[in-house]
Structure formats: C-alpha cells, structure tokens
Amino acid sequence: MPGRNATATRTTAAAEGDVTVLLIGMRINHFWAVHHWLPVFLAMPRMLRELAKDPERGLLNHVLLTASPRTYYVVQYWESKEKLYKYAHSPDMFHHRAWAIINRKERKGRVRGHVGLWHEAYVVPEGSYESIYADMPVFGLAAAHGQVPLERRGKRARDRFAYRSDKAAGERAEKRVAAPGKAPDGV
C-alpha cells in the first residue's frame, strides 16, 4: 500500500462486537460495450468519495480489489447494517441515483448482459471473526477498527475467536435479565 509502512510485528484487528461487511462489485461481460460498463465502473469511486466526506454515514474503511480483468469489487467495513441500509436507501446520496438510472435502463432493455452487478452483506457476530496481520501495514478489518498487538487477543486463532469484549459481555448480561413478571431463561 503506497505511503504506508509495514509493521514488523504481528497484530490483530481491535474490532469489538458485531462487524458489518459488504462485498460489492461488477463484472464486465462485453468489453466492447464500454458505454454500458464504464459508467458503472466509475460510480463506485464516486460513492466512496461521497462516503469519505461524511464519516457519520458509517463507512469505516474499504479495500478495492480486482478478481480478473473483467471483475472488480470492494470490501467495505461499516459501523452497522443499519447505517449501510440507510446509505443505500438515502435519496440524497449518489447510490440511490445510480440505481435509479440502472433500473430505468433495465426496464427499457438497455442493460442486460453487458455488465454484471453483485453484492453480499454480512453481519458477523463477535466470536465469529478473527484476524492476523504479520509484517503488514494497517489493512482490512484492522484499518476499519484499529489494530492491537496479537498477544492482547491471543496468539492462536482459537484464542482470538474466543475473545469477548466488555461491551459484548454487557449486552449478553442485559439479554439474560428478565422483564418484570417473567422468569429468566433456564428457570
């Protein structure tokens, strides 16, 4: 990564609680149909710039990736699925306008087959993710949530999977507290 120095150590992401990840991308099906795929290709950087200007929208970090000369995608780390949904549905944001254009073209039969679009969204509960970065600059989940020395979460993957933050422990305790007039779980 240009401009970033590798850390000569092993670290892990400082993420706590649930982690929201969006994989979103495109595939160029017909290279000759530049007028169809180029606007789609250029839309993602515009959305990322828009989100960078307003951190309150909830995008924590992103990584641009190429799977092949035809397929490009972005791994995005969000504060929450609620903030992701809110951005996706906000009429004042470019994403909403871009999808309106695509939907209009699709209804007219002018998009099919030229460019493929996809996304996958995941909400990963604490205890279901772990990470390790060896001699790497801050990257991925660690770039989104910060990084800590590996020893703080455990040298082995199973130890990092077993890590529970104080925040998550408090949430689990709240869930165990019964509502008035109700018996707690297991009674």
Q: What is the pLDDT along the chain (187 residues), one digit of tens a residue?
A: 455 677 668 999 999 999 999 999 999 999 998 988 999 899 999 999 999 999 999 999 999 999 999 999 999 999 999 999 999 999 999 999 988 888 888 888 776 788 899 999 999 999 999 999 999 989 999 999 999 999 999 889 899 999 998 866 666 556 555 455 554 444 4
Nearest one of 20, 24, 122 to 73, comparing CA atoms:
24
Asked if residues 4 and 136 have their Cβ atoms less than 8 Å apart, the reply is no
CATH class of segment(s) 10-176? alpha beta
Domain ranges of the chain: 10-176
Let me know if 20 is exposed, middle or buried by CB neighbors in 10 A (0-12, 13-18, 19+).
buried
Q: Are 180 and 171 in contact (CB under 8 A)?
A: no
Tell me the whole-structure pTM to 2 decimals: 0.82
Closest CA to 139 of 58, 64, 69, 55: 64
CA 102, chain centre distance (Å):
23
DSSP 84-148: HHHHHH-TTSHHHHHHHHHHHHHHTT-STTTEEEEEEEEEE-TTS----EES--S-HHHHHH-EE
